[in-house]
Amino acid sequence: MTMAAAGLLTALAAAPVTAQVQSGSAAGRESVARIQRIEDRAEIEQLLLNYGRHLDARDFKAYGQLFARDGVWEGGMGTVQGPAAIQAFMEKAIPGANTAHNFHLLSNFVIDVQGDTATAWSRWQFVAPDQDGRPVVAQAGRYDDTLVREDGRWKFKRRVAANDLPLPRPAAPK
């Protein structure tokens, strides 16, 4: 017990119980709500990162589980809905082990939590070996996400992957 708390006990020796608990919890509830938002944000960050981890590890079962039951993945390869369908889609699109050691660099997370839903915006770069085995940024783009708390866990409600580079066609010579 801190000295402040000990002094409090002495000072309030005859105070009624109800007001203390209530007044304490009025401010307390606000603090708990703020803590919750911070924890939500941290959990969403980990969700965005686990997306890349499971993808790079080719663990598409865990990858699919990052999506809500009606969650949607939308990108250049198509649009798919639901964890099982997303898993099957990716297993077919990217078969085999990641022997190339390519990976996703995920960054620039802008996250906005609103109760049990949230939005996120972020950048991705796909780094892969060139023909000599050296790392190059093969592709780069953005993710636009809506997220939802489902059974107490944050999930992708919709993830839209957009490509920025390479440019659709070679740049004109200067």
Q: Interface with a second copy includes 152 (CB under 8 A)?
A: no
Residue of the chain from 95, 97, 131, 152 that contacts a second copy (CB under 8 A): 131
Q: Minimum distance between the CB of residue 117 and a second copy, rounded to whole angstroms?
A: 18
Give the nearer residue to a second copy in terms of CB position, either 88 or 127: 127
Residue of the chain from 25, 79, 114, 117 that contacts a second copy (CB under 8 A): 25
Is the distance from CB of 161 to CB of 93 less than 8 angstroms? Answer: no
Q: Of residues 83-112, which lie at the interface with a second copy (CB under 8 A)?
A: 100-101, 103, 105-110
Q: Interface with a second copy includes 165 (CB under 8 A)?
A: yes
Give the nearer residue to a second copy in terms of CB position, either 48 or 80: 48
φ/ψ of 52, rounded to 5, equals -70, -40
Give the nearer residue to a second copy in terms of CB position, either 57 or 77: 57
Cα separation, 151 vs 164, whole angstroms: 35
Give the contacts of 12 (CB within 8 A, at least 6 positions apart): 20
Give the nearer residue to a second copy in terms of CB position, either 18 or 152: 18
Q: Interface with a second copy includes 153 (CB under 8 A)?
A: no
